Amino acid sequence: MTPTGSSARDLLRWGTSLLADAGVASARHDAEALLLHASGLERARLLTLGAGDKVPGEAAYRELVAERSSRVPLQHLTGRAWFRHLELAVGPGVFVPRPETEVVAQEAVDEALRLVRDGGRPVVVDLGTGSGAIAAAVATEAPGARVLAVEKGPDAHAWAARNVEGTGVELRLGDLADAFADLDGEVDVVVSNPPYIPPDAAPIDPEVRDHDPELALYGGGEDGLDALRAVERTARRLLRPGGLLVIEHADSQGESAPAVLRATAAWRDVTDLPDLTGRPRYVRARRAEQPGSER
């Protein structure tokens, strides 16, 4: 262990080494993030501290590094996660938003902005909002849209309430499977990042497996797509003809997820699209103008 009173650079080297030994892939990044959090300093100021300068919050930093070494998520230790332009409050009981979901949110933002430019006030619904990330992104990036969100988990709902405060998002506590009966046929965009992990595919990373709520991870059914099926049924009920549906899925579900939508005549223009790494990530479709027979 580095002695008490070490320089910022010494503390960063110590923290990075400890985290790397614990198997944290982003050891250097996390060590720095924790030191910035513990010290309350800006990065430029922190790295200009001399060897004789006392680093504020050194004891707290050492405790945080020890917790991160036990694979407590970085976001739980700092209490925040970044999503697009937003700084979200997160912690135990809520799924930590991931960068790959940002492209899903982009689809909803783009559609809402298009409808606003056309003179409308689009209605956007986020099913299973978790931390409120997608709903808050749409509300802040597409002013003029009416954004609603629902979350079933009481803990996650509490985090979402904190994150959407002041954005105009209308947040409800409830099940996405029967949400928003008062909006049937009136919604322009339905967007969702539902749970989609199959029951036999437990996440490898301890941060996910041990700390993200199971309600946000496991989609149900042998293929993990039961929650996505529930989203499809609810969206079918909510969307007006021509309305947009966007659902995130696992990169292994690039064929099975769109097949759920193609199994009914309710949808047209069903397309599966990648995230920024090129992996299959979400399915996009439009509510059929004349649904006809819907199985």
Please check whether residues 102 and 139 belong to one and the same domain.
Answer: yes
Please check whether residues 66 and 97 belong to one and the same domain.
Answer: no
Segments of the chain with pLDDT less than 50: 293, 295
Please check whether residues 117 and 45 belong to one and the same domain.
Answer: no
Please check whether residues 112 and 197 belong to one and the same domain.
Answer: yes
Check residue 293 and give its pLDDT.
Answer: 44
175 is in which domain, residue-wise?
83-88+93-287
Tens-place pLDDT, residues 268-287: 999 999 999 999 999 999 99
Q: Is residue 78 part of a domain?
A: no
Domain count, the chain: 2
Q: Is residue 121 part of a domain?
A: yes
Q: Is 33 exposed, middle or buried (0-12, 13-18, 19+ CB in 10 A)?
A: buried
Please check whether residues 35 and 134 belong to one and the same domain.
Answer: no
Helix (H, G, I), strand (E, B) or coil at 270: strand
Please check whether residues 13 and 111 belong to one and the same domain.
Answer: no
Check residue 231 and give its pLDDT.
Answer: 97
Please check whether residues 41 and 122 belong to one and the same domain.
Answer: no
Please check whether residues 152 and 264 belong to one and the same domain.
Answer: yes
Could you tell me the pTM of the whole model? Answer: 0.89
| Eight-class DSSP state of 101 | H
Find the farthest-apart pair of alpha carbons in the chain and give their distance in angstroms, rounded.
76
Check residue 127 and give its pLDDT.
Answer: 98
Helix (H, G, I), strand (E, B) or coil at 77: helix
Please check whether residues 121 and 63 belong to one and the same domain.
Answer: no
- Of 21, 39, 70, the residue at which a domain comes to its end is 70
Q: Would you give the distance in Å from CA 239 to the centre of its chain?
A: 23
Check residue 204 and give its pLDDT.
Answer: 67
Please check whether residues 97 and 138 belong to one and the same domain.
Answer: yes
Tokens for 55, please give them: 């680093």
Cα–Cα dist 56/70, whole Å:
23
Please check whether residues 65 and 121 belong to one and the same domain.
Answer: no
CATH number at residue 247: 3.40.50.150
